């Protein structure tokens, strides 16, 4: 094989490692979760309803392609993405599927069928309203994800704690809930519950990653 041919084959073999690593719905789901915050294998297994053994096997495939990396902390192994490029990779996959696969739109429409139309949210205006207290922005992801990065002026209220916190939420202000982005269902469920109880609630389609991609600021805070 000519020198150029060997070079080309070797290079494309490496590109294919990334494609093969993401040729699994479960591994894409794991990547999506790790883009929110670093996690232990046990936490990822619980979030995805997989066994710890299967979760670990999928993570090893992602690690071999250098999409994620791991670190042992005591009795646990913690995984995180290797760089911001992992987020760009997932965004590209989602955008390509949105444009090229009619099934993506059909699945999304079926899921939202019967729900009230989602109102468009002006991002900059939302920050201004949240800063002045005219709107309440709720991050309904788990607390660890909120601490790893959240929208400015957002309050952490994990979906699992919503029922216990309803009495503390104002009914005279608009509540804007967000989670992990356009395909995450946590904010959808939060808005449905809030509306059922008489709150003026809407969903922000953005997650932290989408917010950052628009060049908007993100806040961080240390775990207690």
Rounded to an integer, the average pLDDT of 75-84 is 96
Structure token digits, residue 174? 């608009």
- Mean pLDDT of the 124-132 span: 92
Task: Indicate the pLDDT class of residue 121, thresholds 50, 70 and 90.
Answer: confident
Are the C-beta atoms of residues 62 and 32 closer than 8 Å to each other?
Answer: no
Q: Domains (ranges, CATH) in the chain?
A: 3-87 (1.10.10.10), 112-213 (3.40.250.10)
Per residue in 94-115, pLDDT tens? 999 999 999 988 988 888 776 6
Identify the helix (H) or strand (E) that includes residue 145. Answer: helix 143-148
CB 154 within 8 A of CB 130: yes
* Buried b / exposed e along 89-113 (16+ C-beta atoms within 10 A): bbeeebeeeeeeeeeeeeeeeeeee
User: What are 48-77's pLDDT values in tens digits?
Assistant: 999 999 999 999 999 999 999 999 999 999
Indicate which residues carry an active-site annotation.
179
Q: Where are the alpha helices (DSSP H) in 22-100?
A: 25-34, 41-48, 52-64, 85-100
Segment 22-57, tens digit of pLDDT: 999 999 999 999 999 999 999 999 999 999 999 999
pLDDT of residue 224 exceeding 50, the answer is no
């Amino acid at each position: 094989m000519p020198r150029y041919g060997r070079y080309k084959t070797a290079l494309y073999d490496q590109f294919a490692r990334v494609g093969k690593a993401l040729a699994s719905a479960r591994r894409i789901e794991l990547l999506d979760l790790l883009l929110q915050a670093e996690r232990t294998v046990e936490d990822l297994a619980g979030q995805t309803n997989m066994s710890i053994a299967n979760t670990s096997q999928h993570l090893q495939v992602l690690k071999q392609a250098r999409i994620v990396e791991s670190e042992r902390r005591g009795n646990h192994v913690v995984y995180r993405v290797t760089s911001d490029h992992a987020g760009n990779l997932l965004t590209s996959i989602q955008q390509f599927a949105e444009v090229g696969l009619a099934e993506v739109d059909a699945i999304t429409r079926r899921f939202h069928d019967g729900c009230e139309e989602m109102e468009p949210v002006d991002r900059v205006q939302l920050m201004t309203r949240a800063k002045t207290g005219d709107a309440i922005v709720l991050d309904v992801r788990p607390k660890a994800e909120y601490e790893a990065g959240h929208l400015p002026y957002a309050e952490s209220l994990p979906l699992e704690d919503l029922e216990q916190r309803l009495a503390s939420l104002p009914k005279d202000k608009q509540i804007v809930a967000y989670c992990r982005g356009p395909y995450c269902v946590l904010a959808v469920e939060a808005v449905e519950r809030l509306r059922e109880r008489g709150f003026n609630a809407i969903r922000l389609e953005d997650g932290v990653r989408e917010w950052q991609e628009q060049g908007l600021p993100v806040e961080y805070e240390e775990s207690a």
